[in-house]
Structure 1
């Protein structure tokens, strides 16, 4: 017996309620294995490959690339062969909130479609879904990752007779995306005759209505323009000139509007966080120039001794954790509701990484327990994951302090925005040769500008200055770190 299972967008965790389809990894007609990734989606946290818990043949996909889907919306359908006494093969291992066993199927009254009925994406449907099944419109409540849609084809391929069982009730719509499309464009679904199986209203039906309305509006505008031209001609040259002036203003306004880029996905999440930081955190910034010549020499000596190479950002991270151990006020957050400063015992060090999809801040867990080699390896791993878009939500959240190496962009200084809800961020500019007074004489040294942006609620300028001065001392004399090893 053939069954068609519908796989819905699962709960992605971290309070995320929607995701954008970036790239389909399978086509209609492809054979997929259990837990094989089928689509790549982008959330407000990261890029995620979504695995399908069913193995079988893909019979339909819902949503084009670039479409935003809410959690619980259909992603695709998979046809499988199942015996009467055996449950369909399914792992249930679908991201957050789906456990390790198959989700229970929700039984729905179904009936077969006439032979030759097509699925929305062009694949043959083995059996149709009746109006009663179609009327179960997904709402905001949590939904299972799959549910049996059809089971009306016998092993020999014999179909049962179609049962005309239509009745009044909710509008028969194949997908919540269709409802959203209609709602956003003011289309009354009850006035449409669906072209899908058993009268189901498909996305194409709504788009046809929108195209018709657009064409009608264009024709109306053309007639209005013709009539306006006749009126202007009859009114004389002065009226024509006035109308032309008004038209010119309208054209200019349209041109001035520019290109609109939606704030969504990672970019939208960053915008929200930075805006909240500016609203809630009274930040201040202090900075100092430091002679990094000895730090660069120490790094060169480490790498010349053999073994894995040590990165500069790893050494700076090690300096940060040593300074936070001395000034724990800066490794904290503010609980506004309780009006309390919460000092955190672990240092989860975030670092700013620029990617093609925008700025992200991966987090190195328990940075205070890592040595330079471990920090180097973790920075490299997270940076590569950021560039390929494979960071998980857990690797992008939970930071307690941020290290921002904006020197890679060729700038000396910056006053960055604190990564809410953290309390501070250390900025590191480019390291360049500059004139410097060294041991009483003018010399060319490797100089770097360090800046600390901090939440003035958690500490005053004395604490912030002490932290920054300790960081500068470690940069200028790396032997200072020996005290904390």
Structure 2
């Protein structure tokens, strides 16, 4: 859609987000219509079923349209924005060369790996920002305006604002490049020459109405993905749960000794993770998944350890890669990094996929026990309740000890109760006597 002056419009669509994702919800626009954007500048923040991500635009120029309000779900391939850019460098065949005006990078999280041949940006004319646009008496010299046709340089937002206020866009000359009519132009015209307001459009009807006393919350984004995964786990996995109480007094003392010796602090979750990986080395059947179509159990030689975390946007399970090869300090640091990313909504799809076993510390909610649902397609999950003082027989005498309830939910297709019980008993032994871990260090 080139114009005589060399200004033309490019449409940037919601890119393929990877991980099998087909849609995303607009959370927050990072640019306004009329803004000048650079190549690979993030223009919108979206939430997928995996994470919150910022989407960079591969074009540099003036934003002429945005598609979708905040809270709208868009499928991959749907238009996000249009950008007015300069004329591309001529090629031998006369066709446009996308590489001259864009980075070519359209996947979320990918910036420009190397500088493109030319980075062209549309410059706003002096006085375009905040200056009073001229008003033509007989028509206008800007871009043509058609209500129903494709409009590469006039955004739907500008047209709607003009229509709602009874303003004829043909009476304006835009202050943007090539006479581009910006929102500021319309707003200035409305302030300078108030016109009778057009009849307000009726408010859109809600997609679904709630009966008195009901509150309806759509299952979409992360919450919808979690709901689908939990439902699939219940449908496909014949799970069973076993549990045991353990005296965690010595584990708590060991952690205190580590943290008073200097150096980075060691978290309790890191110690439990270290115990998990040691137990999985002894009982590798639980570090697996079931390929139902092939009717095979697939066992892994690595432990990518997921841990359940509650966030404002719902339950997420970040994954610590190669947890079996990490010491307590490295585990503590990675748990802290992923927890902070979950709190701020910056977890990437890669942070949330590929787990082989999950550790669920539901004790942080002040509860003793649980029978959690397995994180499909994994085969098992270790649950840890709160650690509280309780009466306990210690060395033949009644004493007050720090007691914790441990539970293991497992896929009965990958192992029988003997293996599951052996795994859980080994975990309990390590909690009660941390020195047992020295055998595997």
TM range (shorter): 0.7 to 0.9
Instruction: For residue 113 of structure 1, report the CA deviation from its aligned partner.
Output: 5.1
Question: Residues 331-358 of structure 1: CA distance to partner in whole angstroms, max 9, x if unpaired?
Answer: 0111111111111111110000000000
Instruction: For residue 121 of structure 1, report the CA deviation from its aligned partner.
Output: 2.1
CA change 1:213–1:347 in 2 (3 A) is closer
The aligned residue for residue 377 of structure 1 is: 333
The aligned residue for residue 63 of structure 1 is: 68
- Tell me, in whole angstroms, the C-alpha distance in 2 between the residues paired with 1:158 and 1:26: 21
Determine whether 1:259 maps to 2:259.
no
Question: Contact conserved, 1:40 with 1:49, CA < 8 A, in 2?
Answer: yes
The aligned residue for residue 156 of structure 2 is: 120
Question: Contact conserved, 1:92 with 1:100, CA < 8 A, in 2?
Answer: no
- Tell me, in whole angstroms, the C-alpha distance in 1 between the residues paired with 2:39 and 2:81: 14
TM-score (norm 2): 0.77
- Tell me, in whole angstroms, the C-alpha distance in 1 between the residues paired with 2:29 and 2:276: 42
Instruction: For residue 254 of structure 1, report the CA deviation from its aligned partner.
Output: 3.3
Question: Which one has the bigger helix percentage?
Answer: 1
CA change 1:344–1:121 in 2 (3 A) is same
Gapped regions of structure 1 (runs ≥ 5): 103-111, 125-154, 160-207, 215-250
Instruction: For residue 119 of structure 1, report the CA deviation from its aligned partner.
Output: 2.2
Question: Residues 21-56 of structure 1: CA distance to partner in whole angstroms, max 9, x if unpaired?
Answer: 000011112221211111000111111110111122
Instruction: For residue 83 of structure 1, report the CA deviation from its aligned partner.
Output: 5.3
TM-score (norm 1): 0.70
- Tell me, in whole angstroms, the C-alpha distance in 2 between the residues paired with 1:303 and 1:260: 47
- Tell me, in whole angstroms, the C-alpha distance in 2 between the residues paired with 1:471 and 1:120: 61
Question: Contact conserved, 1:347 with 1:368, CA < 8 A, in 2?
Answer: yes
Question: Contact conserved, 2:55 with 2:108, CA < 8 A, in 1?
Answer: no
- Tell me, in whole angstroms, the C-alpha distance in 2 between the residues paired with 1:158 and 1:452: 67
Determine whether 1:25 maps to 2:55.
no
The aligned residue for residue 423 of structure 2 is: 467
Gapped regions of structure 2 (runs ≥ 5): 1-5, 92-96, 117-141, 147-152, 161-175, 181-198
Question: Residues 188-217 of structure 1: CA distance to partner in whole angstroms, max 9, x if unpaired?
Answer: xxxxxxxxxxxxxxxxxxxx9994998xxx
CA change 1:472–1:121 in 2 (3 A) is same
- Selected match of 1:409 from 344, 365, 376: 365
Determine whether 1:347 maps to 2:303.
yes
- Tell me, in whole angstroms, the C-alpha distance in 1 between the residues paired with 2:407 and 2:294: 30
- Tell me, in whole angstroms, the C-alpha distance in 2 between the residues paired with 1:306 and 1:213: 62
Question: Residues 124-156 of structure 1: CA distance to partner in whole angstroms, max 9, x if unpaired?
Answer: 9xxxxxxxxxxxxxxxxxxxxxxxxxxxxxx99
Question: Contact conserved, 1:11 with 1:97, CA < 8 A, in 2?
Answer: no
Secondary structure, aligned partner of 2:372: coil
Determine whether 1:356 maps to 2:317.
no
- Tell me, in whole angstroms, the C-alpha distance in 2 between the residues paired with 1:456 and 1:475: 25
- Selected match of 1:7 from 12, 20, 23: 12
Instruction: For residue 123 of structure 1, report the CA deviation from its aligned partner.
Output: 7.9
Question: Residues 361-382 of structure 1: CA distance to partner in whole angstroms, max 9, x if unpaired?
Answer: 0011111000001101110111
- Selected match of 1:41 from 39, 42, 46: 46
The aligned residue for residue 452 of structure 1 is: 408
- Correspondence list, 1:140-159, <5 A: 157=178
- Tell me, in whole angstroms, the C-alpha distance in 1 between the residues paired with 2:300 and 2:74: 37
- Selected match of 2:234 from 263, 268, 278: 278
- Tell me, in whole angstroms, the C-alpha distance in 1 between the residues paired with 2:334 and 2:344: 16
- Tell me, in whole angstroms, the C-alpha distance in 1 between the residues paired with 2:407 and 2:423: 11
Instruction: For residue 157 of structure 1, report the CA deviation from its aligned partner.
Output: 4.7
Instruction: For residue 85 of structure 1, report the CA deviation from its aligned partner.
Output: 3.1
The aligned residue for residue 277 of structure 2 is: 321
CA change 1:399–1:472 in 2 (3 A) is same
- Tell me, in whole angstroms, the C-alpha distance in 2 between the residues paired with 1:286 and 1:35: 51
Question: Contact conserved, 1:425 with 1:453, CA < 8 A, in 2?
Answer: yes
- Tell me, in whole angstroms, the C-alpha distance in 1 between the residues paired with 2:177 and 2:248: 78
